Structure 1
Amino acid sequence: MAPPKKGELTQEEKELLEVIGQGNVQEAGRLLGSKNVRVNCLDEHGMTPLMHAAYKGKIDMCRMLLRHGANVNCNEHEHGYTALMFAGLSGNKEITRVMLEAGADTDVVNSVGRTAAQMAAFVGQHDCVTVINNFCPRERLDYYTKPQGLEKEPRLPPKLAGPLHKMVTTTNLHPVKIVMLIKENPLLAEVDALKKCARVMELICEKCMKQRDMNEVLAMKMHYLSCVFQKCAKFLSEREDKLDGFIKSLLKGRESDGFPVYQEKFIRECIRKFPYCETTLLQQLVRSIAPVEIGSDPTAFSVLTQAITGQVGFVDVEFCTTCGEKGADKRCSVCKMVIYCNQNCQKIHWFTHKKVCKELKAAYEKQELEAAKEKKRQEERQKTEKEPEVDSNSNEEQPEPDPGVTGDESADVAQEEKAEALPAASEADGAAGLQDMAGRVREPEE
């Protein structure tokens, strides 16, 4: 069959584009079996059926089209859009992941010079940005499952490639979540396996930095995972409580406010140990974290997450206090101040939260009382403003007073500015901070 040209569609191909929009997978499958239907046909704008399915969020349709040989990297669109770009614009994380697993090129740019990740970020689809930024092809790991050169055995046992790839592509970088994933897989929860995984992560980190198109973000993520794997191996070999002990160490909060000091120091130490000191990403991380006192915002985890996953700080979403999972919606029934994704995370965190729960409850009740008082004052102020006094000696209309910003709003604005502003420092300060940012991370006494 001749190569497809824009707008030259058979009747069956036109029907295919219609049923894709309707989500009728069965009818689409029947049409794809016709000899008059080309899976990579182009409409008048240069869009393929796969692009239509991706943009309309039809994941089953996308999978079927790929099985029939759809070209995931077709770039005939009039503005240079690819199927991955349309997946990002749709906001569907699963479709974005399917495109990446099918071999979608993340570096292709459209007619305005934007990649798929940049297009998704431009329209506010930050979850898709996170998926793209955290994707690592399985082939990168499979390379190490075969002996190279004079090696007698591979650096990574083939049975570990699957579980490790799941860890590499995770979008939740919270250290507790990573340890939980390790605990869930018996193949990974062994000292020797963790050491081999850590070594492979460092090798990939080195490759990312030495390749022509240097990838600092992926290199930092590989290094961070390597640090977590090494610490897990240490706890497995030296501590009787093993990985449960590591989780408790990461969650244990200080007595005054429950802030997890060890977790903060551990993440800072991971960043400080990044072996490529000259990289722009590392310098940015150091300038953002080093001047911040432990216990204040931004935390090392929030800065690292934003740098690697592309998440933005102003997105209104809740995260689990225990594992950092996005979309947590279950609050502590007593203090209402901490939030969890499920009951298991609440049980894991209770050993340390119970020490400050009452204090947090008192703080919460005080905040609620002050908020109620301020709301009442605001209502009284608005009522007064609606009935302004009129000067009887003047016929001119009195201008209405500008209500301005209320106390609550000004406080919220100040808080948002403080949260969004990153501490600035000179290059010299950044270099000094690299040395002093974390210090030595000691194991907390249980």
Structure 2
Amino acid sequence: MSAPKKGALSCAERELLEVLAAGNAQEASRLLGSRDVRVNCLDEYGMTPLMHAAYKGKADLCKLLLQHGADVNCNEHEHGYTALMFAGLSGKTDIAWMMLEAGAETDAVNSVGRTAAQMAAFVGQHDCVTVINNFFSRKRLDYYTIAQGLEKEPKLPPKLAGPLHKIIMSTNLNPVKMVMLVMDNPLLSDAEALEKCRKVMALICEKCTKQQDMNEVLAMKMHYIGCLLQKCSSFLREHQDQLDGLIKSLLKGRESDGFPVFQEKFIRESIRKFPYCDATLLQQLVRSIAPVEIGHDPTALSVLTQAITGQMGFMDADFCTTCGEKGAEKRCSICKTVIYCNQECQRLHWFTHKKVCKRLQEQREKREAESAKQVENQAKEAEVNKALEEVTSNVENLSVDQRETASTSDVQTETVSSEAIPINAH
């Protein structure tokens, strides 16, 4: 079959586009099996069926098209859009992930020089931005599970690739969450295994900074993960193979307000240790964090989160006080100030939160009382203003009535005077 040309669609291909718009996966599957249908055909705008499905947010159809050999990096669109760009515009993180897994290029740009992540950010699809910016293919990690050259064994044991990849793909950079991910997998609960993972992170970080298309964001993330793994490894060696104590250290808040000082210092130190001093991202992070006194906003975690995921940390959403997971809904029943994603996180945090819980409750009640008083004062002020407006209106109406009465009286007097004048008869 000839190479696709814009607008040169067969009847079956036009039908396929209609079926995709309707979301009929069964009929799309039938048409894709036809000889008259090219999976990478182009409509008059240069859009492929995969682009249409991605823009419509149809994950099942995207999967079907990819299975039939759809080109995920086709950019024949009139403005240079790719399927990943359309996935970002649709706001569907599962489709963005699917495109990335299929080999979508994250650094491809459209006709105005914007990447898929930048386009998603432009239309406010920040979750897609996070997925794109944090993607690291398993294939790239698996490279280190194979002995290279004269190596007798690979740098990363194959059994560690899965657990490590899960940590790499996490978009939650909270150190407590990262330690939880380590604890969740028995294969990582070993100081030696963690040290091997850390070394691989250092190698990837170096590769990201020395490759032709430097990726400072990914390099910083790999470095940060490496620092966390190193901390876990050293802690396991010093504390009888238990990471619970490390989580307590990261969560422990200062007496005055419960701010986790150790966590803040750890993140700042991790950033400071980034080995490539000339990196623009490092300089930006230092400028944002260095002038801020510990315990004030922005925190090092929020600045790092924004830099790596492309989102403002702790904005427009509720995050778990313990692990930093987005969408936390459970509040402390006493102070109703701190938020958790589940009871386990609340239990882990209680040892330090209980010291400031009562104080936070009093502060909240004080704010609520002041707010209620302000509302009451505003209501009273509104009533007074309304009363003044009514009085003013009545006075104005009375003045108008008096003027009208006076005017009528003058007319009557004038009439009477005219009638009193004698008429001379001649």
Q: Find the aligned partners of 1:38 and 1:172 in 2 and give their Cα distance.
A: 41
| Aligned match of 2:40 | 40
Paired AA for residue 180 in structure 1:
M
Structure with greater helix percent: 2
Per the alignment, in what secondary structure is the counterpart of residue 110 of structure 1? Answer: coil
TM-score after normalising by structure 2: 0.89
Q: 2 CA distance for matches of 1:267 and 1:385?
A: 54
Tell me the residue number matched to 2:403: none
User: Which residue does the alignment assign to 1:343?
Assistant: 343
CA distance in structure 2 between the aligned counterparts of 1:139 and 1:313, rounded to whole angstroms: 29
1:31-430 correspondence runs (5 A): 31-240=31-240, 242-312=242-312, 315-384=315-384, 390=392
Question: How many residues are matched?
Answer: 394
Query: Which letter does structure 2 place at the counterpart of 1:351?
Result: F
Cα drift, residue 221 of structure 1: 0.5
Match of residue 6 from structure 1: 6
TM-score, normalised to structure 1's length?
0.85
Distance 1:247 1:157 in 2: 26
Q: Is the 8 A contact 2:16 2:28 kept in 1?
A: yes
Deviation of 1:231 after TM superposition, in Å, equals 0.5
Structure 1: give runs of 5+ residues left out of the alignment. 394-446
Distance of 1:298 and 1:100 partners within structure 2: 32
Residue 273 of structure 1 and its aligned partner are, at CA, apart by: 0.7
Q: 1:437 maps to what in 2?
A: none
Say whether the 8 Å CA contact 2:73–2:105 is kept in structure 1: yes
Distance (whole Å) between structure 2 residues aligned to residue 186 and residue 170 of structure 1: 18
Shift of residue 386 of structure 1? 5.6
Q: What is the CA-CA distance between 1:312 and the residue it aligns to?
A: 2.3
1:74-119 Cα deviation digits (max 9, x unpaired): 1011111000000000111111111111100111111111110110
Tell me the alpha carbon deviations over residues 128-167 of structure 1, each in whole angstroms, 9 at most, x when there is no partner: 1111111112222111111122211110011111221111
Shift of 1:382: 4.3
Q: Distance in 1 between matches of 2:105 and 2:273?
A: 31
Q: 1:314 to 1:175 in 2, by over 3 A?
A: closer
> Structure 2: which amino acid aligns with 1:97?
W
Q: Deviations over 1:5-34 (max 9, x none)?
A: 112222222222222222222221111111
Q: Give SS of 2:188's match.
A: coil
Mark the CA change 1:260 to 1:12 in structure 2 (over 3 Å): closer, same or farther: same
Report the identity percentage.
73
Tell me the SS of whatever aligns to 1:149: coil
- Most deviating of 354-363 and 295-304: 354-363
- C-alpha deviation, 1:204, in angstroms: 0.6
Supply the distance in 2 between the matched residues of 1:266 and 1:57 (Cα, whole angstroms): 40
Q: Cα RMSD over matched residues?
A: 1.8
Task: Give the structure 2 partner of residue 436 of structure 1.
Answer: none
- CA gap of 1:66–1:369, structure 2 versus 1, over 3 A, is same
Contact 2:189/2:241, CA 8 A, preserved across alignment: no
Alignment-mate amino acid for residue 348 of structure 2 = I
Aligned residue identity for 1:304: L
Give the whole-Å Cα distance in 1 for the aligned partners of 2:220 and 2:297. 21
Q: For residues 241 and 359 of structure 1, do their structure 2 counterparts lie closer, same or farther at Cα, with a shift above 3 Å needed? A: farther
- For residues 226 and 299 of structure 1, what CA distance do their matches in structure 2 show? 20
What is the CA–CA distance in structure 2 between the aligned matches of 1:241 and 1:347, rounded to whole Å? Answer: 22
Contact 2:302/2:314 (8 A) holds in 1: no
The structure whose RCO (Cα within 8 Å, separation 6+) is larger is 1
* Distance of 1:347 and 1:22 partners within structure 2: 48
Cα distance between partner residues in 2 of 1:313 and 1:379: 37
| Cross-structure match for 2:413 | none
SS of 1:187's equivalent in the other structure is helix
1:242 partner SS: coil
